[in-house]
Structure 1
């Protein structure tokens, strides 16, 4: 039976964007400004975040997850300024987050771990069993749900990480290098899941794999040296390149072309 909506569910939506950054600056460590003057607005859909190593992608994802606080500028989630509030509990209930590396209790079963994460996300107790079952089914781990985490392969652990990120049916889903450790068949299924999730939420996927973005994302955000250097559809990024640019596909050549013009070291390793 579908639960009755509460007052918050019935309240009118009063914000235009799930994510809105205005001249956002975020530090990585004490000195480096890893995100430097970002203007960005994102709503429903699957958004691919691309960029070279050290571009600031992980710092941006962590700030969107409210793990890092802005150093300057304004970051708004669901119309609420992250900069002006120290209590992020209400925001975090609506966010799903998979970091590059996540901790877990090795003696927990898959089900126990995701139940624990659902509890941390304040999913109502009566809804947790169904939410956990749906999450493990969506990542293809229903047959492994009662195995201990320590017995899983690296790719399976990564899929558990995706499951815990979606167990609360988030409005904003943040995934940092989610396909690390997944085999080709699992990556294909994950792309399908991304497309499905993007119809329900604002999904931001940070990755080095241009082909995943091409297959699953509605738009591309290209980040370099802490700055936004391109935002548009995969086709628009592909059109930015030519046969003379490095890359094995039109999208990779477009990626190379934009980076080569984004700064003095845009094309360097």
Structure 2
């Protein structure tokens, strides 16, 4: 059973880089899913883009300490140590929403978020307020006492976001968080991301390029396990031309960078 920690033990700390990776490699069986990538991510909202199979989910799970790197260096919140005590302390400071998250159908939304707060060792005297605040921020206030099994797909996703932010994390990792959200909810979610990025390092994996353009300052673009591009979203907007596929500047930039990367790898652009 997790012990109750004091507020001073989970007070936020400023880091030059919340996430720092050097030649990070992660294998899934015989396949290299993340292939020697470099990352330096600090406070703010960062979009993680790439086609299916690019390695985005593997990278997110590695940063969430679910998977162990095969080689390279990974520092989270200034520490590369991975003892059991280190991991426990680190996980108190992480928020993570996987593509598919488990939950007890008979739990109410409030009970589910309370349970996750307990697992993350949120101080007991702060738990009720932290849970209510997280539920309010994802616009589930009126459904807080409904059972998880009665929620729509979009509401379940919002409950998942609530559990990810209940501990006010220093690093927030979200894997396809807008799946099932309607357009109005997506706009509200973008505003929430911008607010969270004021003090946290937020990494959002998504297929929706326009969400990145609206909510993110930084972009990490992956393909075949490698980093294609890292930088400000404005650089992504200017990377393409009218000849590249896409309905917007940012989509054309995405297409252009992927094309150039693949040409370099195959020698087609030589």
- Please tell me the TM-score bracket, short chain as reference: over 0.9
Q: Name the residue aligned to 2:18.
A: 18
- Alignment of 1:143 with 2:142, yes or no, is yes
Q: How does 1:1-269 map to 2 (within 5 A)?
A: 6=8, 9=11, 15-28=15-28, 30-82=29-81, 84-87=82-85, 88-264=87-263
Deviation at 1:127, TM superposition (A): 1.1
Give the unaligned 5+ runs of structure 1.
Answer: none
Deviation at 1:263, TM superposition (A): 1.8
Provide the C-alpha distance between the structure 2 equivalents of 1:27 and 1:209, rounded to a whole number of angstroms. 26
Superposed CA offset, 1:81-140 (max 9, x none):
15x434411100000000000000000000000000000011111111100000000000
TM-score, normalising length: structure 2: 0.92
Contact 2:7 / 2:123 at 8 angstroms: preserved in 1? no
Mark the CA change 1:260 to 1:118 in structure 2 (over 3 Å): closer, same or farther: same
Contact 1:25 / 1:33 at 8 angstroms: preserved in 2? yes
Contact 1:259 / 1:266 at 8 angstroms: preserved in 2? no
Superposed CA offset, 1:47-100 (max 9, x none):
000000000000000000000001000110011115x43441110000000000
Provide the C-alpha distance between the structure 1 equivalents of 2:262 and 2:171, rounded to a whole number of angstroms. 31
Contact 1:44 / 1:199 at 8 angstroms: preserved in 2? yes
Superposed CA offset, 1:154-212 (max 9, x none):
00000000000000000000000000000011001000000000002000000000010
RMSD: 1.8
Provide the C-alpha distance between the structure 1 equivalents of 2:241 and 2:188, rounded to a whole number of angstroms. 31
Provide the C-alpha distance between the structure 2 equivalents of 1:127 and 1:63, rounded to a whole number of angstroms. 29
Provide the C-alpha distance between the structure 1 equivalents of 2:9 and 2:84, rounded to a whole number of angstroms. 24
Deviation at 1:238, TM superposition (A): 1.2
Contact 1:20 / 1:76 at 8 angstroms: preserved in 2? yes
TM-score, normalising length: structure 1: 0.93
SS of 1:196's equivalent in the other structure is helix
Provide the C-alpha distance between the structure 1 equivalents of 2:53 and 2:9, rounded to a whole number of angstroms. 43
